[in-house]
Structure 1
Amino acid sequence: MKEAGYDAYLVGGCVRDLLLGHEPKDFDVATNASPEQVHKVFKRSRLIGRRFKLVHVRFGREVIEVATFRAPPEAEQHVDDQGRIVRDNVYGTLEQDAWRRDFTINALYYNIQDFSIVDYTDGLADLQAGKIRLIGNVETRYREDPVRILRAIRFVGKLGLVMDDDTEAWIPTLAGLLKDIPPARLFDETLKLYLSGNAAVTNELLNHYGVFEHLFPQTDALLHEEQDGYPRVLLTKALENTDKRIDDNKPVTPAFLFAALLWEPVRQRWQDYMANNIPAIPALQRAASEVIAEQVQRVAIPKRYTLVTRDIWVLQIRLTQRLGKRAFRSLAHPKFRAGYDFLLLRNESGEALEELSEWWTLFQEQDEAEQQKMINALPASAGGAKKRPRRRRRRKPVVKSD
């Protein structure tokens, strides 16, 4: 960019993380070049976005996001009735760009020419004080983009910082504005909240500020109804396990996360349907379909994840059915490990599943002959394929002729 005659700065999270001693996961660049000009400079780039027009520049496997300096919101009128910005492609200066950013700690610019930090909003001082502060009028900034509520909470959970009084005080009042955010965008933000390595703490913050109910309303209602604390314990343990896997550099599937987040509403509907004499698996599938259909109205979980989430839930029934060849079929299921882990999670959270959990733990360690012995030793109550009674063929009546 510099060689092409434009100004360009590293900005936002990468600068913040470097100053905190963390390794940045990605790099963003701010420039005085228009998106079209940036696109011309880099052959391996593409224009994206409508509300915020950006350029993605590819370097090897990395993608660097390049944005043109923007003017503050008051310089244009593209807002809806709630004050939310619906279009923001009015370009400005470096200083104007700084003042239109969300938090002071994200408005720090690194100049690669002289290795200096450009700071118009006292972001350095806030970073040193461990403070998260919105730039400008707090109510206005939240109304412009309610997702800033989620970002503030995520930074508290992830970075261990604290919000200043105004930034914190408006969250419970304005959290309801999240219902106007497109569900697909809330899905992206939800993954950032729960896959940052600090999911357990972040979830506590979401509940504390009354935000969780706007993301997972079905689950939230049942968390408050339950007296024994089971669903809250299960969710907390699931999030702690997720954090540990991330810390250990192990893979994490969002499908397992959503299986835990939505298990309680599914479990209760499932039990209600079985109480009305609907067989276990059809009852669970019906409950799952209804809960997911309601959930995607808030957070649009893609089908590639909900299909796996359903498999995890259905395996909770399959794993109880161990006679005949059923145990071998479950063990061969592509999502067996996730279903088994979820079974252990349920047991650790208070469901009486200790015998079943121990049986499956041991079963996996045996050779096929020993596995068959374990199956043969099971009582009839362990479930298995029921033989259908043979239907007797009815003989056609013989018609006698006179």
Structure 2
Amino acid sequence: MLLGKVPKDFDISTNATPEQVHRLFRNSRIIGRRFKIVHVVFGQEIIEVTTFRSAVNGNLGRNQIQNDDGMLIRDNSYGKTLEEDATRRDFTINAIYYDISNFTLIDFHGGLYDLNNGIIDIIGDPHTRYQEDPVRMIRAVRFSAKLGFKISKRTADPIKTHSALLLNVSNARMFDEVNKLFLTGHGLQSFHKLRDFGLFNLLFPGLDGFIENKDYQAFVEYALASSDQRFAQQKRNMPHFLYTIMFLGKFRALMIKHYELNESRIHQVADDVIADEICQEMLMEQNAVTALPWQVSADIRKLLKSQNELLNIHDQNAVAAMAESNILRASFDIFKLRAKFEPYLSPYIRFWQPYYDRSSQRAEQRRALFNKKEDQTSANAKGKQKKNKPAEKNEGYKREKATSRAERLAKARAWRAAMHLDP
């Protein structure tokens, strides 16, 4: 809000433990083992509630556990004050608190100064903080790409030194972080900054030789810029599209190598079999870093193979199958991106464009029908609530309702006192 932007969500910090928060809000759940937080469901929103953290010190107990590299693999040691909690935040701009009781900002680490000057600066010793949680290096890059801020020298310098620590982070967490880097409107800037810090090759193993190719790099940049534009138009970007863009250069190079080898074979191997083997090898290598959900992997495989299938316009059965495929639009979108750099694809673009348009129209019709059903369901639910609402015909009923509300408030205050939640 200080930057004139609409925040995606609000995080709440409290001295109540996750268990206490969970007991207070029935529609909540505790998530995370390494770092417990509470998700409170409020209407259509999920509000993240965290407990004050205490500083990491040499006397680690069972609530704070580090591995041999200094990474905190459990961090549920709770603090008592806001200032103590602020020291555990990653960057100064993320350690600015808003006190709703008196509508004031609380800033212990100069976050407002850095915010106004466009600086990403880590709190504490950078080496120690990166060892505690290597994902902070990714977050520094992401905030810099998203906000257009400069990473301070002391924050940036140790990144290349500690970059290998990212391999210790769970691949499920890394999948989420990569999505945040590339799918939320600043993918092109993230790509450039990751390469500047030598992090791209860690996130996408085995692709460095292909990304170094200037022509393919230009294609990736063009595709990421297109994805950023989609996000600005409030359209969703999907993980399978991102990974297909990244994998496509290597996939095509390996397929060309297969074609050359096949020429000298007595018993030739079917292209489809080889394509599956290449996809499997690439996906396994990537899964070691980012845990690709099964459906995402399946869609990546389909999209990669479909780039060859779109060239097969003289086989009526193949054309009919592709025209009815649920990946036609995504596959054709990639095909059109390629056409900017591969002019020979233009006739194929003209051939498939009518099929693409019809598929888009059907998708729009399905979306409109779904939204209509959702609106009707919502209207029916509201009507039912209104119908079941008791009539407030007399003052006696209102007094009774007010009394019950007062009783509930009294019970809530008593509970807070018993749980030591009040200051």
Structure 1 counterpart of 2:54: 71
What per-residue deviation string (whole Å, max 9, x for no partner) do you get for residues 71-124 of structure 1? 012265221111111111111121110011100000011111111011111111
Summarize the alignment of residues 275-290 of structure 1 with structure 2, pairs less than 5 Å apart: 275-277=260-262, 278-290=269-281
Counterpart of 1:337, as a letter, is R
Q: Secondary structure at the match of 1:118?
A: strand
The equivalent position to 2:163 in structure 1, one of 169, 175, 190, is 175
Summarize the alignment of residues 201-280 of structure 1 with structure 2, pairs less than 5 Å apart: 201-224=189-212, 226=213, 229-277=214-262, 278-280=269-271
Structure 2 counterpart of 1:148: 136
Structure 2 counterpart of 1:311: 302
The equivalent position to 2:318 in structure 1, one of 305, 322, 326, is 326
What per-residue deviation string (whole Å, max 9, x for no partner) do you get for residues 228-256 of structure 1? x2221221111111101000111222111
- Superposed CA RMSD in Å reads 1.7
Distance in 2 between residues matched to 1:280 and 1:345, nearest whole Å: 24
Aligned residues with identical type, % of pairs? 38
What per-residue deviation string (whole Å, max 9, x for no partner) do you get for residues 54-76 of structure 1? 11110011111111101012265
Give the structure-2-normalised TM-score: 0.79
Structure 1 counterpart of 2:77: 90
What per-residue deviation string (whole Å, max 9, x for no partner) do you get for residues 359-384 of structure 1? 22256569xxxxxxxxxxxxxxxxxx
The equivalent position to 2:31 in structure 1, one of 48, 52, 63, is 48
* Match status 1:352 vs 2:319: no
284-293 or 145-154, larger mean C-alpha shift: 284-293
Distance in 2 between residues matched to 1:351 and 1:219, nearest whole Å: 24
The equivalent position to 1:295 in structure 2, one of 273, 286, 308, is 286
23-32 or 280-289, larger mean C-alpha shift: 280-289
> Is the 1:274–1:283 contact (alpha carbons within 8 Å) kept by the matching residues of 2?
no
Q: Taking structure 1 as reference, are residues 364 and 350 closer, same or farther at Cα in structure 2, changes over 3 Å only?
A: closer
Counterpart of 1:53, as a letter, is K
> Is the 1:76–1:90 contact (alpha carbons within 8 Å) kept by the matching residues of 2?
no
Distance in 1 between residues matched to 2:343 and 2:192, nearest whole Å: 23
> Is the 2:220–2:246 contact (alpha carbons within 8 Å) kept by the matching residues of 1?
yes
Q: Secondary structure at the match of 1:87?
A: strand
Counterpart of 1:85, as a letter, is L
Distance in 1 between residues matched to 2:302 and 2:172, nearest whole Å: 23
Q: Taking structure 1 as reference, are residues 104 and 211 closer, same or farther at Cα in structure 2, changes over 3 Å only?
A: same
Q: Secondary structure at the match of 2:325?
A: coil
Distance in 2 between residues matched to 1:212 and 1:364, nearest whole Å: 33
Aligned residues: 347
Distance in 1 between residues matched to 2:243 and 2:154, nearest whole Å: 32
> Is the 2:328–2:356 contact (alpha carbons within 8 Å) kept by the matching residues of 1?
no
Structure 1 residue 221 displacement after superposition: 2.9
Counterpart of 2:68, as a letter, is D
Structure 2 counterpart of 1:336: 328
> Is the 2:145–2:189 contact (alpha carbons within 8 Å) kept by the matching residues of 1?
yes
The equivalent position to 2:3 in structure 1, one of 6, 20, 37, is 20
Q: Secondary structure at the match of 1:47?
A: strand
Distance in 2 between residues matched to 1:114 and 1:340, nearest whole Å: 55
> Is the 2:240–2:299 contact (alpha carbons within 8 Å) kept by the matching residues of 1?
yes
Q: Taking structure 1 as reference, are residues 355 and 46 closer, same or farther at Cα in structure 2, changes over 3 Å only?
A: same
> Is the 2:143–2:149 contact (alpha carbons within 8 Å) kept by the matching residues of 1?
yes
312-321 or 102-111, larger mean C-alpha shift: 312-321
Structure 1 residue 222 displacement after superposition: 2.3
Counterpart of 2:71, as a letter, is R
Structure 2 counterpart of 1:110: 98
Distance in 1 between residues matched to 2:174 and 2:241, nearest whole Å: 18
Structure 1 residue 126 displacement after superposition: 1.0
The equivalent position to 2:119 in structure 1, one of 119, 131, 145, is 131
Tell me which protein shows more helix as a share of its residues: 2
* Match status 1:190 vs 2:178: yes
Distance in 2 between residues matched to 1:348 and 1:125, nearest whole Å: 44
What per-residue deviation string (whole Å, max 9, x for no partner) do you get for residues 143-163 of structure 1? 111100000000110001111
Distance in 2 between residues matched to 1:363 and 1:270, nearest whole Å: 27
> Is the 2:207–2:250 contact (alpha carbons within 8 Å) kept by the matching residues of 1?
yes
Distance in 2 between residues matched to 1:234 and 1:97, nearest whole Å: 44
Structure 1 residue 280 displacement after superposition: 2.4
Distance in 2 between residues matched to 1:113 and 1:84, nearest whole Å: 36
Distance in 2 between residues matched to 1:71 and 1:364, nearest whole Å: 56
Q: Taking structure 1 as reference, are residues 76 and 246 closer, same or farther at Cα in structure 2, changes over 3 Å only?
A: farther
> Is the 1:82–1:143 contact (alpha carbons within 8 Å) kept by the matching residues of 2?
yes
> Is the 1:273–1:283 contact (alpha carbons within 8 Å) kept by the matching residues of 2?
yes
Structure 1 counterpart of 2:410: none
